[in-house]
Amino acid sequence: MRAFACPACAAFTPFEADRCAACRTPVGLHLPTTSMVALDGDAVRVDGQRWIRCTQAETLQCNWLVPDEHVDAGQRGRCLADSLIRREPDAADTVAREKLVPTTAALRRLVFQLLDIGLPVEPYFRRTGGLAFDLLSSFSEDRPVTIGHADGVITIDLVESLDAYRESLRVRLGEPYRTMLGHFRHEVGHYYQNVLVETGPGAQRHLTECRALFGDERAGYGEAIDRHYRFGAPADWQDTFISEYATMHPWEDFAECFAHYLHITDTLDTAREAGMVLHADRVRFRAPRDVTPSPCYDDASVHRLLDDWAWIALFFNRVNTAMGKPPLYPFTIPPPVADKLDFVHRVIREER
């Protein structure tokens, strides 16, 4: 994630901040310039255009700005990220609405990253099959809410924002990692597989290679789910998959790899924005070179990206264990998975 500075005093300003903690200047995120700007009241002029706070500033604690003039009617005065919410709990459902706040914070992080790496974010109200989010609560609905993707619509269960609930599921399912942002990144992987690989301009070329790497997505999905939950992953799954869940079906393998690509690139960006460098001559172990996360890996192979990541992840894993927590990135990337990540890297780079 990009590191933002207060426009008034240059102090570090978190991505979600609506006010500088150091000088108390009101700030908002101006998406076109990917910067924090100082507000005069609740508005600011940028390049002659007036920008105001998203209408969800109070209810969802959103700090994004929207243009005050020529507003897209479909956005309902909301910022781009919040306008993608198609369904949400009723205002009277105060318990579910409370869980909507941390969930939309993760959604805004997702949308910012998608735009930052150059992926198209086309809302559902602008075209059929556009990106939409149904943020619902299984504690409020008359039926269980199943996290998933269908025809551009991503459904998320707000109950997953409860740490105890999410952790119990993680343990029961034997997962090393489970977060709300992880859910968003995985499900949006399904969306972009359809948009970029299966139906995009390069579909014929991409789809052939995708099937060679991930398998034929036309295989029965329902049967695959039943088989996975009855028998589990193959014994040697670590040799060719990023996770046990990825073994279920080619669609899930792609979505898992897409999510991990977003995990890796966003964490590398965060390390770079913090000025983090691994100096080979300053560590107690043997390192082949200094490692400085690149501002952009568009012109680099995924293997350079993954090599940088291996060293940066080693550091973050050690920091976590020093605090008595599990490793930050408890995954290994064997060569077949690196090839899959390379495909994701190239498809995204081509779209960018």
Residue of 135, 181, 186 whose CA lies nearest to 15: 181
Non-local CB neighbours of 249 within 8 Å, separated by 6+ positions: 215, 217, 219, 221, 224, 225, 228
The predicted-structure confidence for 252-273, as pLDDT tens digits, reads as follows 999 999 999 999 999 999 999 9
pLDDT value for 208: 93
Percent of the chain surpassing pLDDT 90: 74
The predicted-structure confidence for 2-48, as pLDDT tens digits, reads as follows 899 999 999 999 999 999 999 999 999 999 999 999 999 889 999 88
Give yes or no: residues 343 and 210 share one domain: yes
CA distance 222 to 86: 26
Average pLDDT over residues 123-139: 93
Which of 73, 99, 118 terminates a domain? The answer is 73
Average pLDDT over residues 164-178: 86
From residue 223, give the alpha-carbon distance in Å to each of 12, 226, 255: 50, 5, 18
Give yes or no: residues 155 and 222 share one domain: no
Is there a domain that residue 231 lies in? yes
- Cβ of 258: how many Cβ atoms within 10 Å? 26
Asked if residue 330 lies in contact with residue 179, where contact means CB atoms within 8 angstroms, the answer is no
Least trusted range by pLDDT, from 79-83, 154-158, 326-330, 347-351? 347-351
Average pLDDT over residues 293-319: 92
Is there a domain that residue 98 lies in? yes
Give yes or no: residues 95 and 3 share one domain: no
Is there a domain that residue 78 lies in? no
Give yes or no: residues 182 and 209 share one domain: no
pLDDT value for 229: 87
- Tell me: pLDDT of 142 over 80: no
Domain that holds residue 140: 84-198
Give yes or no: residues 41 and 160 share one domain: no
pLDDT value for 200: 79
The predicted-structure confidence for 79-104, as pLDDT tens digits, reads as follows 999 999 999 998 888 888 989 999 99
Which of 198, 214, 240 terminates a domain? The answer is 198
Give yes or no: residues 181 and 222 share one domain: no
SS3 136: strand
Confidence of residue 201 (pLDDT cuts 50, 70, 90): confident
Which of 198, 218, 248 terminates a domain? The answer is 198
How many residues can be counted in the chain? 352
Is there a domain that residue 112 lies in? yes
Average pLDDT over residues 156-185: 89
Is there a domain that residue 89 lies in? yes
SS3 50: strand
- Tell me: pLDDT of 210 over 80: yes
Is there a domain that residue 79 lies in? no
Give yes or no: residues 161 and 261 share one domain: no
Give yes or no: residues 246 and 306 share one domain: yes
CA distance 326 to 328: 6
pLDDT value for 169: 86
Give yes or no: residues 51 and 94 share one domain: no
Average pLDDT over residues 178-197: 95
CA distance 159 to 347: 33
Q: Which of 38-42, 173-177, 334-338 is the most confident on average?
A: 334-338
Is there a domain that residue 157 lies in? yes
Give yes or no: residues 67 and 110 share one domain: no
Give yes or no: residues 27 and 126 share one domain: no
Average pLDDT over residues 206-231: 92
Mean pLDDT of the chain: 92
Asked if residue 180 lies in contact with residue 99, where contact means CB atoms within 8 angstroms, the answer is no
- Give Cα 52 to chain centroid, integer Å: 26
pLDDT value for 253: 97
The predicted-structure confidence for 104-121, as pLDDT tens digits, reads as follows 999 999 999 999 999 999
From residue 250, give the alpha-carbon distance in Å to each of 149, 256, 312: 15, 10, 29
How many folded domains does the chain comprise? 3
Q: Which two tokens stand for residue 100?
A: 């909507």
19 exposed, middle or buried (CB, 10 Å; 0-12, 13-18, 19+)?
middle
CA distance 285 to 182: 32
Percent of the chain surpassing pLDDT 70: 99
pLDDT value for 70: 60
CA distance 300 to 298: 6
Average pLDDT over residues 191-213: 90
pLDDT value for 177: 87
Residue of 303, 326, 306, 304 whose CA lies nearest to 316: 326
- Tell me: pLDDT of 73 over 70: no
Is there a domain that residue 48 lies in? yes
- Exposure b/e, 299-334, CB count within 10 A at least 16 = b: eeebeebbbbbebbbbebbeeeeeeeeebbbebebe
Least trusted range by pLDDT, from 180-189, 236-245, 263-272, 295-304? 295-304
Give yes or no: residues 171 and 208 share one domain: no
Asked if residue 89 lies in contact with residue 69, where contact means CB atoms within 8 angstroms, the answer is no
pLDDT value for 143: 78
